[in-house]
């Protein structure tokens, strides 16, 4: 019989610089290191162990085990393309041009049986497999759809599964056969990250890194669609029974549970208490008193976040410098100063009067406003072909739309913070 390993652990302070840590290890005898004996938990975690709490007694939102009783029957990651610069774009016409070029090049290589993997287009292991099967690709304008690329940022997306490594059946289960069916989902930040737990509701198909460039997004949809495009509930009868029984209320619906879930996952006390659990597992839900108040908060948050593009515009004070001669060559800034409550748009325009609360609504480490500023900056494409032939993005073309978007999302942010603070009262 194999003996179980014993784990002893010691860590230096995170604040120490690398050089200081290396020097300490170099000069400290091994026998003088104050190791701590660690016993792994049931899931074999042995570092950053969560304090004992009631996590296991809570209702599981979802599970990888299809036989386990859960609230959401099905979940999925966002879309992984492996060629975001090619298949996403703010400009629909530029996306069309990119994809026509890409597909024409691919088919040229296919006709010649050219396996040099010429870097004029972006190859990946899955596309190489398609090529080896001698499968031609045909451009289809009908599959250019809208997608949630990052928080509060939409782009056009060429939804061809052959050109997206992980546009899978799961996504068709959420959005139907043509990816155009109505649905809502709760997107949770991936748990392979040190960033704070984040959740955001959406209605457009999201990218894999919707909530973080590194950890992915996990989706819990309200509906799912079968092969005949018939809409089915994704919230389970078992979950409905648990809530109805606990609260002794037959008026509770699956929609109410969806709203309740969204509210609870925003609750700061919940996020703090279960911080380490949320980094390792699907969320679990407690039964809070006053179920319908939490439903109300969740519904209000959902409507705010889904309809951010039509929210009331926050009354920023806009300052435009006069006398500038070269307006087409203005240096883009898109830089926030939280202490001053300003956003420098470019050399000409600065927005004043951004309230402190607007910066408090964060998704991961960034506020909602900062996500927008980051996405609309002018950046040189990393793909050489796109940099040479399709680098058409100029912030000046979107300036007024971005200012309006910032105003609307500022209102959403302030209102979100107000609701979240009510949860702690």
- Of the candidates 50, 51, 8, 14, the residue with the CA atom closest to the CA atom of residue 31: 8
Which residue's entry shows tokens 């299809």?
66
Report pLDDT digits (tens) over 52-90: 689 999 999 999 888 789 999 999 999 999 999 999 999
Specify the length of the chain in residues.
425
**pTM of the full structure:** 0.88
Contact 342, 350 (CB under 8 A): yes
Contact between residue 109 and residue 120 where contact means Cβ atoms under 8 Å apart? no
Q: pLDDT class for 416, splitting at 50, 70, 90? A: very high
Higher pLDDT, 29 or 244: 244
Half-sphere exposure of 422 (CA within 13 A, CB side): 14
Query: Distance between CA 181 and CA 177 in Å, rounded?
Result: 8
User: Taking a C-beta distance cutoff of 8 angstroms, is the pair 170, 62 a contact?
Assistant: no
Tokens of 364: 């991961």
Q: Residue 331: pLDDT above 70?
A: yes
Residue 44: is its pLDDT beyond 60?
no
In this prediction, residue 26 carries a pLDDT of 79
Angstrom distance (rounded) from CA 410 to CA 6: 52
Nearest residue to 352 via CA among 368, 366, 336: 336
Q: Mean pLDDT, the chain, as a whole number?
A: 92
Q: How many CB atoms lie within 10 A of CB 406?
A: 27
Q: At residue 140, what are phi and psi to the nearest 5 degrees?
A: -135, 110
Do strands 284-285 and 59-60 pair parallel, antiparallel, or not at all (unpaired)? Answer: antiparallel
**CA nearest to 204, candidates 98, 127, 100, 309:** 309
H/E stretch holding 194: none
Q: How confident is the model at residue 38 (pLDDT cuts 50, 70, 90)?
A: low
For residue 192, the model assigns a pLDDT of 66
Say if residue 377's pLDDT is above 90. yes
pLDDT at residue number 326: 73
162 pLDDT above the threshold of 80: yes
Domain boundaries, the chain: 7-58, 76-232, 237-310, 317-413
CB atoms within 10 A of CB 131: 20
Least confident of 2-11, 197-206, 213-222, 271-280: 2-11
Is 118's pLDDT higher than 70? Answer: yes
Q: What is the pLDDT of residue 195?
A: 86
Q: What is the per-residue pLDDT across 184-204, written as a single tens digit (0 to 9) for each?
A: 999 999 876 678 999 999 999
pLDDT at position 194: 77
Q: How far apart are CA 312 and CA 407, in angstroms?
A: 8
Residue 78: predicted pLDDT:
96
Average pLDDT over residues 310-330: 89
DSSP 37-88: EE---TT---SSPPPS-SGGGSEES--S-TTS--SBS--EE-BB-S-HHHHE
């Amino acid at each position: 019989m194999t003996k179980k390993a014993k784990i002893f652990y010691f860590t230096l302070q995170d604040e120490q610089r690398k050089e200081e840590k290396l020097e300490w290890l170099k000069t400290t005898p091994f026998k003088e290191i104050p190791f701590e004996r660690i016993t792994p938990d049931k899931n074999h975690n042995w570092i950053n162990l969560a304090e004992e709490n009631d996590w296991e007694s809570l209702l599981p939102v979802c599970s990888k085990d299809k036989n386990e009783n859960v609230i959401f029957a099905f979940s999925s990651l966002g879309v992984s393309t492996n060629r975001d610069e090619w298949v996403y774009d703010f400009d629909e016409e530029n996306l069309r041009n990119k994809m026509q070029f890409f597909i024409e090049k691919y088919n040229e290589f296919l006709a010649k049986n050219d396996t040099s993997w010429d870097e004029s287009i972006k190859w990946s292991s899955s596309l190489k497999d398609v090529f080896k099967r001698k499968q031609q690709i045909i451009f289809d304008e009908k599959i250019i759809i809208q997608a949630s690329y990052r928080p509060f940022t939409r782009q056009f997306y060429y939804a061809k599964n052959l050109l997206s490594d992980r546009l899978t059946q799961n996504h068709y289960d959420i959005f139907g056969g043509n990816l155009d069916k109505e649905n809502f989902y709760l997107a949770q930040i991936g748990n392979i990250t040190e960033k704070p737990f984040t959740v955001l509701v959406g209605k457009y198909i999201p990218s894999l890194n919707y909530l973080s460039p590194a950890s992915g997004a996990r989706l819990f949809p309200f509906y799912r669609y079968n092969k005949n495009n018939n809409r089915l509930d994704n919230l389970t009868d078992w979950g409905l029974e648990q809530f109805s029984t606990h609260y002794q209320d037959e008026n509770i619906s699956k929609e109410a549970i969806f709203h309740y879930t969204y509210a609870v996952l925003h609750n700061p006390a919940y996020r703090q208490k279960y911080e380490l659990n949320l980094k390792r597992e699907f969320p679990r839900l407690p039964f809070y008193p006053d179920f319908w108040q939490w439903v109300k908060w969740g519904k209000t948050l959902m409507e705010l976040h889904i309809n951010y593009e039509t929210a009331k515009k926050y009354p920023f004070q806009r300052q435009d410098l006069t006398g500038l001669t070269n307006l087409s060559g203005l240096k883009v800034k898109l830089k926030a100063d939280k202490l001053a409550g300003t956003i420098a748009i470019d050399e000409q325009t600065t927005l004043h009067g951004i309230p402190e609360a607007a910066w408090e609504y964060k998704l991961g480490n960034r506020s909602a406003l900062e996500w927008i500023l980051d996405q609309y900056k002018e950046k040189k494409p990393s793909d050489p072909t796109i940099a040479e032939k399709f680098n058409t993005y100029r912030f000046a073309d979107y300036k007024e739309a971005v200012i309006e978007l910032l105003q609307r999302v500022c209102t959403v942010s302030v209102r979100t913070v107000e609701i979240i603070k009510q949860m702690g009262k």
